[in-house]
Structure 1
Amino acid sequence: MPEGNMHDLTFSDPSQVSWACEALLSGRTIGHSDEIIEAQGWRLAAIVHRLKHRYGWPISTEYVGPENRACYKLQPGADRAALRFPPSAKGLADRRKGDAK
């Protein structure tokens, strides 16, 4: 397995990464509690960081509530067709291409 893929798998389960990508693409604002409940994960901040900095996703962060909880969403007007996908979410990119045909 190439080293880049090992890095993706080391820190976050592929299903959690795919869940985060799908949730953001659907227009949702997601937070850590969403990931815990829906994807049984604990690393949303790390996933978002990687999507933003490694794959160039335009994700905005808003801090809400007295706990200053981070909530993430894809920025309005983001060019979804130009997004690069991590290996575990390639199926989402392929599915979106099929929808555009």
Structure 2
Amino acid sequence: MTTQHRWFSNPTNIYWTCKALIEGRTISHKTEIREVKGWRLAAIVHRLKDSFNWPILTEFRGPDSIAHYRLSPGTDPALLRFPPSAKQLLDEIGGQE
């Protein structure tokens, strides 16, 4: 019988959000639900913008005005401040703490 250590292999929603944004992706709540079964994307984006000064742009699309988030063009991810659960990304992108 094999045991999966999902606790350690699944990234946190905050980590996933930061990674998706620095990869240049545009993400929405639907994307988060599909990829990491999360449901707090707006709160995570708000915290990244408010507490960590991330230049995140929000575009509301469709008849239901669904929010889609992306980093402002020209943002250097290596210069961003990361929340504790996403600091590992600093090593991956070669940034500074």
Q: TM-score, normalised by structure 1?
A: 0.80
Higher helix share: 1
The alignment covers a number of residue pairs equal to 85
Report the 3-state secondary structure (helix = DSSP H, G, I; strand = E; otherwise coil) of the residue aligned with 1:27: coil
2:73 aligned to which of 61, 71, 76: 76
Would you identify which runs of 4 or more consecutive aligned residues in structure 1 move more than 4 Å? none
d(CA) in 1 for partners of 2:91, 2:52? 16
Unmatched segments (≥5 aa) in structure 1? 1-13
Q: In the alignment, what sits opposite 1:7?
A: none
Q: Please, what is the CA RMSD of the aligned residues?
A: 1.3
1:64: which partner in 2? 61
Pick one of 50, 56, 60 that aligns with 2:47: 50
The code of the aligned residue for 2:93 comes to R
User: In 2, distance between residues paired with 1:42 and 1:80?
Assistant: 24
Aligned identity (percent) is: 59
Correspondence for 2:26: 29
User: What is the TM-score of this pair, normalised by structure 2?
Assistant: 0.84
- Structure with bigger gyration radius: 2
How many angstroms apart in 2 are the aligned matches of 1:60 and 1:76? 9
Q: Which runs of 5+ in 2 are unaligned?
A: 1-10
